[in-house]
């Protein structure tokens, strides 16, 4: 259904450090700077994730109530991505653990350096 997700960033270097850690822990490669360094992109067969300076020149801000879910292959990948995100400027929004609302699921929540909310998510089976 989706081809890509683009989120705003206020500091591309800090954003790249954050997402490089998170994405590598989830099994993806390092991001590539695009748009003359105004954004960083992570591509996969399932779609692309891009973070960059807003085109209108205004400061980036997280979507109020919005969350972007990133698939994790295992609970250990959730733990590693969460730790990498915190180590690279992220902020906790929900420590890793089982999520009772969805039996068999394991997740964690983080804010990136620009306030975008991420869910790192694994479902057994």
Domain for residue 44, yes or no?
Answer: yes
Residues 76-103 pLDDT 10s? 999 999 999 999 999 999 999 999 888 9
Let me know if residue 62 belongs to a domain.
no
- Residue 87 phi/psi, 5-degree rounding, is -70, -15
CATH code, domain carrying 13: 3.10.180.10
Is 8 inside any structural domain?
A: yes
C-alpha distances (whole Å) from 116 to each of 4, 64, 65, 76, 110 are 16, 9, 10, 23, 8
Based on the structure, what is the number of domains in the chain? 1
Number of CB atoms found within 10 A of residue 61's CB = 12
Which residue segment(s) compose the domain that 78 sits in?
4-53+68-123
- 60: in domain: no
- Residue 8 confidence (pLDDT): 96
59 located within any domain: no
Looking at residue 65, the DSSP 8-state letter turns out to be T
**What's the CA gap between 101 and 29, in Å, rounded?**
31
Asked, for residue 90, whether it belongs to a domain, the answer is: yes
pLDDT digits (tens, 9 = 90+) for 17-70: 999 999 999 999 999 999 999 999 999 988 999 999 999 999 999 888 899 999
């Amino acid at each position: 259904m989706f081809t890509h997700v683009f989120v705003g960033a206020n500091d591309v270097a800090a954003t790249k450090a954050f997402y490089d850690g998170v994405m590598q822990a989830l099994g993806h490669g390092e991001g590539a700077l695009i748009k003359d360094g105004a954004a960083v992109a992570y591509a996969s067969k399932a779609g692309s994730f891009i973070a960059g300076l807003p085109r209108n020149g205004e400061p980036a801000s997280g979507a109020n109530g919005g969350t972007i879910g990133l698939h994790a292959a295992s609970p250990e990948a959730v733990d590693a991505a969460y730790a990498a995100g915190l180590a690279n400027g992220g902020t906790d929004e929900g420590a890793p653990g089982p999520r009772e609302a969805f039996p068999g699921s394991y997740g964690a929540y983080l804010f990136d350096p620009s306030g975008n909310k991420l869910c790192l998510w694994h479902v057994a089976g």
